[in-house]
Structure 1
């Protein structure tokens, strides 16, 4: 029975979405109420509410633990001791979470180190498993937006006791895109390396005699 439990615990499971991860975080501070808001192209959508919400001011910037898209981000509004506070960056989110209580918190902590849950490629960069001591997260990281646009995936070992990343395994690139302007495009380099056809020696011109 024990071996069955351990086997189940080590089965990989996919994160359902970035929103669901954020909806399941638990604040490690005393709050009267808090809201998790997703802002999409100027519109606020409350996707998590705890307690009786206070009036708040819509924010123009926020955080994301997935692929950052222009005009689409999250922020948190919370009330503590009668004062309204806002969380609009990952460091603030990490302080709000405080410590790792579950795998959702682990994903948040990893995001502060530049890792992302890639919802389009969850099989390589959006899943996890755990054992009695650690969480093991397969996450992505955007390496370059230039030439080439590149994303790599990693397996992170995060301690349940300390909340630190104890080991990172580099699993290589899973996206590498070159555009026409990329001078380091391997296909272009191969073309350049091809020997140009040598000019054939010119034959001497035949002389013409006037009669």
Structure 2
């Protein structure tokens, strides 16, 4: 009886340990590493992920026997950046194809196979992995059924420039977003042009007009 009770206690602690480990949040290392985790939906003979910055191409990942491809002048990005972009060139059935936007990337990925593809799928829906603020908008954990991603979203480019962070739940079986929890703003930047800049707002206190001193009235007596 005592032996069975001891085994039950050990099993309980083991299961609690597994549960705690599975829900431990991990940070995404980098956007290039997220993209390296892509598993193409269709069979490809070759594919290459290319990073273009300041009009210069850099091959981030090459899979299969390399083939000639045409450099692209535009592409997609997982984080808003005007100076750089990614694109994918791939060969399927002897034909060269190119992925230059997020919708094409989603089709290329197809079924969500891992946490990296889950992050990419969420990006297509407007979320982002914020490499500067991974504690609030660049981490994840998972269990047997779902991926749970803490991601950011650019909610305003106007006054103020604003980012909010969310916990996005993605079902492993379907790849669909099943729940979104709003965790509030983590960046709000005002500039001088912002009429609602709290630093520039001044409360004008109108001075109340002072009561003029009353003129003393002297009664004149007739003599």
TM surpasses 0.5: yes
Q: 1:22 is matched with which residue: 35, 43, 62? A: 35
Is there any run of 5+ residues in structure 2 with no aligned partner, and where? Answer: 1-13, 214-223
- CA offsets per residue over residues 22-42 of structure 1, 9 Å max, x none? 011111111000000010111
Quick check: which has more Rg, 1 or 2? Answer: 2
Query: Which residue of the partner structure matches residue 149 of structure 2?
Result: 137
Instruction: Work out the CA distance in 1 between the residues paired with 2:146 and 2:204.
Output: 51
Whether 1:11 and 2:24 are equivalent positions in the alignment is yes
Structure 1 residue 53: Cα displacement: 1.8
Instruction: Work out the CA distance in 2 between the residues paired with 1:102 and 1:38.
Output: 22
Aligned residues: 200
Query: Which residue of the partner structure matches residue 208 of structure 1?
Result: none
Query: Which residue of the partner structure matches residue 72 of structure 2?
Result: 59
Query: Which residue of the partner structure matches residue 49 of structure 1?
Result: 62
Any residues of structure 2 matched to 1:160-199 within 5 Å, and which?
160-189=172-201, 191=202, 193-198=203-208
- CA offsets per residue over residues 83-116 of structure 1, 9 Å max, x none? 1100011111111110111110100110011000
Query: Which residue of the partner structure matches residue 89 of structure 2?
Result: 77
Query: Which residue of the partner structure matches residue 150 of structure 1?
Result: 162
Structure 1 residue 152: Cα displacement: 0.3
Instruction: Work out the CA distance in 1 between the residues paired with 2:41 and 2:162.
Output: 35
Whether 1:87 and 2:96 are equivalent positions in the alignment is no
Is there any run of 5+ residues in structure 1 with no aligned partner, and where? Answer: 204-211
Give SS of 1:3's match.
helix
Instruction: Work out the CA distance in 2 between the residues paired with 1:34 and 1:109.
Output: 19
Structure 1 residue 121: Cα displacement: 0.3
Instruction: Work out the CA distance in 1 between the residues paired with 2:181 and 2:105.
Output: 25
Query: How large is the Cα RMSD of the aligned pairs?
Result: 1.5
Instruction: Give the TM-score taking structure 2 as reference length.
Output: 0.86
Query: Which residue of the partner structure matches residue 122 of structure 2?
Result: 110
Structure 1 residue 198: Cα displacement: 4.2
Instruction: Work out the CA distance in 2 between the residues paired with 1:32 and 1:138.
Output: 34
Q: Which runs of 4+ in 1 moved over 6 A?
A: none
